[in-house]
Amino acid sequence: MHAEAISLKGIVKHYCVGDETVMALRGVDLAVPVGAFVAIRGPSGSGKSTLLNICGLIDGFDDGHYQLAGVNVSCLSEKERTHIRRQQVGFVFQSYNLMPVMTVAENVEYPLLLSAIPVQERRQRVAEMLSLVGLSKQANRRPDRLSGGQRQRVAIARALIKSPTLVIADEPTANLDTTTAGQIIDLMKDLGARRGATFLIATHDDRMAAHCDQVCSIVDGMLQ
């Protein structure tokens, strides 16, 4: 296994807003070891979401080099990036982004379905994961019948079900109360450690940052 989950060197990203060019990232260097729990902090518009999107391969960059689990992913086609995301990247969104027509179990199962895992193995892994996040009894419920904390647990289970190299979590506790947010942080850290997944978390939450192995601050598109 490669020692670094992600390695970014000189990442530059700009956006065009009308006639103006906005520099979102100005040569970001970042190396995160495998299994680390890393927080990216910064004010709104500092570029932390852009950085996470690039790390999660859902956005491109204009200059620099990016290696994910030792593989250079700087110049991949959209199809190749999709394939790597499917295998190696999990996402936890602030608004959970669960599929409303799917049950809890089906939401968690979805990434395995995309990877064409056999049905028996899928069922076993989903049951196991739901048990780990404490939602076995809610397996057949729809997301709209769950609390915010439970929904975020489903999202975490979905992100980790395929044992990804990297989990991108964008403000995962922003919509939760303090107690639930604490439980979610503990759950992510616990499951991340068990699964060997690297967490990259964008957050404003000091409690979240306090639980992280590494805290990176980003201001005006540059890591401090």
Partner 1 sequence: MKRRYWHAWQNVLRNRRRSLVTIIIAAVGCAAVQLAGGFAQFSYDVLIEGTIQDSGHIIVATRDYFVRNEESPMQYGIPDASAMRERLSQHSHVRWVLPHINFSGLISNGDKSLIFAGTGVDPEIETEVRGPYLTWESGSFGKSVDGRPFVLLGSELARSLRAHVGSSLTLLSTTTDGTMNAVDVEVSGIASTGWREVDQRFIYVSLSTAQRLLATDRVSSFSVFLDDNAVTGEVLKEMSGGDQAHVYKPWWEQAFYYHSVRQLYNRIFGLLGSIIAALVFFSVSNTLAMAVVERTREIGTLRALGAEPGEVVLQFIREGLLIGLLGALLGTLLASFLSALLPYLGLQMPPAPGRTVGYALKVSISPLLYFIADFSVVLLCVLAAWFASHKATRKPIIDALGHV
Alpha-carbon distance of 111 to 158, in angstroms, equals 7
CA distances from 18 to 15, 21, 49, 63, 90 (A): 9, 8, 21, 21, 33
Q: Would you count residue 4 as binding partner 1 (CB under 8 A)?
A: no
C-alpha torsion sign, points 83, 84, 87, 92: negative
Q: Would you count residue 12 as binding partner 1 (CB under 8 A)?
A: no
Q: Would you count residue 85 as binding partner 1 (CB under 8 A)?
A: yes
Residues 104-123 that bind partner 1 (CB under 8 A): 106, 110-111, 114-115
Q: Would you count residue 71 as binding partner 1 (CB under 8 A)?
A: no
Q: Tell me, by CB under 8 A, how many residues bind partner 1.
A: 25
Q: ∠ CA 30-34-35 to the nearest 5 degrees?
A: 115
Q: Which is nearer to partner 1, 155 or 176 (CB)?
A: 155
Alpha carbons within 13 A on the beta-carbon side of 173: 23
Residues 155-184 that bind partner 1 (CB under 8 A): 158
Residues that bind partner 1 (CB under 8 A): 53, 56, 58-59, 79, 82-83, 85-87, 89, 91, 93, 95, 97, 99-102, 106, 110-111, 114-115, 158
